[in-house]
Amino acid sequence: MLLSVLVPLYNEEEWITECLTRVLNAPLPDGLDREIVVVDDASTDASAQRVLDLQRLHPSVIRLVRSPRNRGKGAAIRIAIEHASGDFCLIQDADLEYSPTDYPQLLLPLLRGDADAVFGSRFLAAGERRVLYFWHSVANRLLTLLSNAISGLNLTDMETCYKAFRTSLIKSIPLHSERFGIEPEITIKLAQRQISIFEVPIRYHGRTYEEGKKIGLKDAFQALFVMFRYGLIRDIYLDKGPEILDVLANAPNFNRWMADTVRPFLGPRVIEFGAGIGNLSVLLSRGRARYIASDIDGEHLARLRNRLQYRQGLEVHHCDLQSPLDFAPFAGSLDAAVCLNVVEHVPDDLLALANIRGVLTPGGRAIILVPEGMSVYGTLDEVLGHFRRYSEAELRAKMEQAGFRVDRILKFNRITRPGWFLNGRILRRRTFSRLQLAVFDSLVWLWRRIDALLPWGPTSIIAVGVRPD
């Protein structure tokens, strides 16, 4: 496994050689190697040359990326994240305020799988720190307090440099801050992703302004602006597909409607394919002797483990609908397979359906929900990665071809079909409106009562297939 140490650099010629030497010699947990990604933010002194001198001695470990113009710490961190190739990454300021000897305790929660991100706190009880600047401490605590109020966390040190993450996680989050606003931006967006965040004590040897400290009052006001901005908007996914899943996570009434529709066909031992971030898993897993939530996306799996970790009988697994090997551990052992809005994402849907059949006991049921009707296929389908939308006849034929006896096909959610057509075919939108969804979700109690009476086709159809004895 590999750790990427990300070093934003600007005018630190006095300190950078010693800093990188300490990073090179820092203790790491067993089995973890390191790379150092230094981003020089257009320094006007000899900082970059100092890095090049050290790089010649360690060419396989140190990489230097040079920004053509000075943009700030946040921009340098964003560039470093793009170049990181490790399993984990850790931000290291180029001065000597933070000690790389703290790496093991920062990394341990990540390596154990308990945490997705770890913050090193200068204000927890353990650890030594140089005593400086009362008003800096006051400002830091106030900013942390406000950040906690917005994010819902209880951190003691939001502004800490020492933040470590799973690299795939931080690469999946859009970051925009140019300067020190990167700290609250990262914090609030991690909180909105609802990942597991740990905090550990670290040592801190703060610098004076005479020694080169750069953060000032202007940055405190910028941090306030960043916190209010990202507290009001939700910009936490680079890809539109996961963003739509996140939007749907805030439609609890609609998710409950879908869960109530499929729940009567489930048994005590269930596997859910394409569980995503667990919007349906949290509703369908209750009371099951065994519930397997599966997906192919690493970030979804991490979110599932965190969100569902205390559920009895619940397991989280990687399972690709097109990989028979992923199905082998469950062959012929489950009473029901739930596959909601997944088969349409698979190039070979017949193979997917045959693999699903293989996990069921004789008499076991597959509950397959797919979008209905190519006549409403549009940009929303493209963003979600839909290869197709199905007719009832096509879905029935493919289920039977895969070896199922189709017990019934249900029409689900007629109410949203006009909106799907308008947004995806006419307006060509590529995401859902959170406001539209909130209004829709608040009226689900009404939609459930009138849905079967509407004169047009459904947005989705649900096939209940039985594996013959």
pLDDT score at 277: 84
Q: Is the pLDDT of residue 317 over 80?
A: yes
Q: Which residues are registered as beta bridge partners of 200?
A: 120
The two domains 2-236 and 241-466 share their CATH topology (first three levels equal): no
Phi, psi of 204 (to 5 degrees): -145, 125
Q: Is the pLDDT of residue 76 over 90?
A: yes
Q: Is the pLDDT of residue 125 over 80?
A: no
- Mean pLDDT score, 190-218: 76
CA distances from 32 to 28, 37, 267 (A): 6, 16, 43
pLDDT score at 81: 97
H-state helical runs in 182-317: 182-192, 217-232, 240-249, 252-262, 281-284, 298-307
Q: Is the pLDDT of residue 279 over 90?
A: no
pLDDT score at 243: 77
Note whether 368 and 353 are within 8 A (CB): yes
Percent of the chain surpassing pLDDT 90: 71
Domain 2-236 listed as CATH 3.60.10.10: no
The b/e string for 203-214 (b: 16+ C-beta within 10 A; e otherwise) is bbebbeeeebeb
pLDDT score at 102: 94
- Mean pLDDT score, 145-150: 92
* pTM: predicted TM-score of the whole model, two decimal places: 0.82
- Mean pLDDT score, 45-58: 95
In this structure, of 42-56, 205-219, 371-385, the range with the lowest mean pLDDT score is 205-219
End-to-end CA distance of the chain: 47
> So where are the chain's domains?
2-236, 241-466
Of 296, 273, 301, 285, the closest CA to residue 366 belongs to: 273
- Mean pLDDT score, 353-364: 95
CA distances from 276 to 35, 324, 333 (A): 32, 20, 23
pLDDT score at 130: 57
Ranked by mean pLDDT, the top range of 28-42, 112-126, 219-233 is: 28-42
- Mean pLDDT score, 28-48: 95
Cβ-Cβ contacts under 8 Å for 407 (sequence gap 6 or more): 365, 464, 465, 466
CATH of 241-466, one of 3.40.120.10, 3.40.50.150, 1.20.1250.20, 3.20.20.150: 3.40.50.150
Of 321, 268, 318, the closest CA to residue 293 belongs to: 318
| 8-26 per-position pLDDT tens digit | 999 999 999 999 999 999 9
- Mean pLDDT score, 321-331: 92
pLDDT score at 18: 94
Angle at 387 between CA 381 and CA 388, to 5 degrees: 80
Q: Is the pLDDT of residue 212 over 60?
A: no
Two structure tokens written together for 212: 């080169």
